[in-house]
Amino acid sequence: MTQTKGPLRRNFIISIATLAFMYFIFGFVSWINAILIPYFKIACELTNFESYLVAFAFYIAYLVMSMPGAFLLKKVGFKRGIMFGFFALSLGTLIFVPAALTRTYGIFLTGLFTMGTGLAILQTAANPYVTIIGPLDKAVQRMSIMGVCNKFAGIVSPLIFAAFTLKATDKELFAALPAMAETARNLALDEMIRRVVLPYSCLSVLLFAVGLFIRYSVLPEINTEEESEELAAAHAGKHSVFQFPYLVFGAIALFLHVGTQVIAIDTIIGYATSMGMDLISAKAFPSYTLTATIIGYITGIFCIPRFISQTDSLRVCTIAGLLLSFCILFMPGHMMFKGHEIAISIWFVVLLGLPNALIYAGIWPLAIRNLGRFTKTGSSVLIMGLAGNAILPLVYGHFADQVGTRQAYWVLAPCFLYLVFYAAYGHKITEWKRRRPATPPANGEKLHATQMQ
């Protein structure tokens, strides 16, 4: 669907607005994990490793459920699939109610997995929508708009959650918990965890309503099964998405990238509290990282492709991420912040939000280009890569328990090294047997396979 005058242009704008709203919802339910992790660590008395099972349970669903999600989309279409995805999100948030009433961490993890299942379906549908409804060389612009909505939700969701669940007197409660008798401590923790019942009950109703709204909205159905003669000829003899190396390398790149992104956001409170800050004082740090990410997205909207191509921006951002990772590990010095002495290196964790903003947006159009009838399945493969959100925080949590919260950031270095490889070379590889990289599509080229109905 191209930008045209009259009704088509109006529908295009409405579709973009609808997708932007969806990405806001994605961000709202995803980035709240940044405060759920330390909150559950206290309320359910967990280790660092156990607390990061929040991210694992939520994001492992991307690995397990992406292929079933693609099958669902093939059967019922994109719009009905999106509706079912929101229904799964609604069910997952509703599961928080019995989990809170019994203070059972396993039930919370079940609810998080169910929410992740809903998001796996939703993102399998939404990302191709954003990529293919306009010129390919402007896909980063559209992805950046979605990213702004996603990360803005990430800024406000922990603050809204904290407003419902954290009290000014909790600072004294957290300090007193270790010395409390078991019965008194359990009563205090039961009261604390039950504060999630009201916000998650309301969120469940809202998500169900959003699913119905999307189903009957003007968002167009898309057809990725038909191919032009040119594209069909190029795909002759191909029977699997795994015959597209740039897609496979892209899925690995997404796995590593989203892992670094969630580490930068979900671990920063733990890093701050390891310096002596309390949860009340440290709760805003994820918002700082997400604000940096939004600045990165806005930069991409205005600069790509006007001043820099999306491929070159990907190269710049991956190199910047690698350099910032080393700054986290090696930058000396401390400063006062909110009455606490903290390491300057924490601000480089915040600054990771800048390059991380455009890495996701840069990988996706390069990895999914010209897949034709393989688009839905290829999208599900890329969504499976989002399981990096589940795995890498656990790796970080393991090393944080072993060597400390700062040295655990070594996990970022090899991830960014691979991302530099994909940005410079990996996205050009179109055949497994060919050693000479092919040139990616020229600016302005569109995917031939998709028609808007």
Q: Read off the pLDDT of residues 207-252 as tens digits, 9 standing for 90 and up.
A: 999 998 888 876 666 655 555 555 555 555 667 777 788 888 998 9
Cα separation values, 44 from 34, 36, 37, 53, Å: 16, 11, 10, 12
For the chain, how far is it from start to end, CA to CA, in angstroms?
Answer: 9
The residue with greater pLDDT, 115 or 146, is 115
Q: Please say whether the beta carbons of 446 and 133 come within 8 A.
A: no
According to the model, what pLDDT value does residue 274 have? 82
According to the model, what pLDDT value does residue 448 have? 40
Tell me which H or E stretch contains 134.
none
According to the model, what pLDDT value does residue 405 have? 85
Radius of gyration for the chain, computed over Cα atoms and rounded to the nearest angstrom: 22
Q: What percentage of residues in the chain have a pLDDT greater than 90? A: 15
Angle between helices 285-303 and 353-368 (to 10 degrees): 50
According to the model, what pLDDT value does residue 230 have? 58
Amino acid making up residue 311: T
Classify burial at 339, counting beta carbons within 10 Å of its beta carbon; exposed 0-12, middle 13-18, buried 19 or more.
exposed
Angle between helices 105-132 and 139-165 (to 10 degrees): 160
For residue 264, which phi and psi values (nearest 5 degrees)? -60, -30
According to the model, what pLDDT value does residue 238 have? 65
Residue range 253-298, pLDDT digits in tens: 999 998 898 888 878 888 888 887 777 777 778 878 888 888 888 8
According to the model, what pLDDT value does residue 320 have? 94
**Long-range contacts of 225-231, Cβ-Cβ distance < 8 Å, separation of 24 or more:** 225/373, 226/373, 226/449, 226/451, 227/372, 227/373, 227/448, 227/449, 228/448, 228/449, 230/448, 231/370, 231/372, 231/448, 231/449
Predicted TM-score (pTM) of this structure = 0.68
According to the model, what pLDDT value does residue 420 have? 94
Amino acid making up residue 160: I
Tokens of residue 445, six digits: 């080229």
According to the model, what pLDDT value does residue 208 have? 94
Tell me which H or E stretch contains 225.
none
DSSP assignment, residue 448? S
Cα separation values, 281 from 269, 352, 353, Å: 9, 21, 20
Of the listed ranges 49-53, 54-58, 237-241, the one predicted with least confidence: 237-241
Residue range 71-109, pLDDT digits in tens: 887 788 777 888 899 999 999 999 989 988 888 888 989
Number of residues that make up the chain: 453
What is the C-alpha to C-alpha distance for residues 79 and 211, in angstroms, rounded to an integer? 9
Residues 6+ apart with CB under 8 A from 228: 448, 449
pLDDT beyond 60 at 329: yes
Mean pLDDT across 54-78: 80
CATH number listed for the domain at residues 7-217+241-441: 1.20.1250.20
Q: Please say whether the beta carbons of 310 and 293 come within 8 A.
A: no
Mean pLDDT across 393-414: 88
According to the model, what pLDDT value does residue 220 have? 66
Residue 142 pLDDT grade (very low, low, confident, very high; cuts 50, 70, 90): confident
Residue range 159-194, pLDDT digits in tens: 788 788 877 777 777 778 777 888 888 888 888 888
Q: Where are the beta strands (DSSP E) in 338-435?
A: 340-343
According to the model, what pLDDT value does residue 316 have? 93
**3-class state of residue 312 by DSSP:** helix
Q: Please say whether the beta carbons of 392 and 415 come within 8 A.
A: yes
Return mean pLDDT, the chain: 80
Of the listed ranges 98-107, 109-118, 381-390, the one predicted with least confidence: 381-390
The residue with greater pLDDT, 437 or 204, is 204
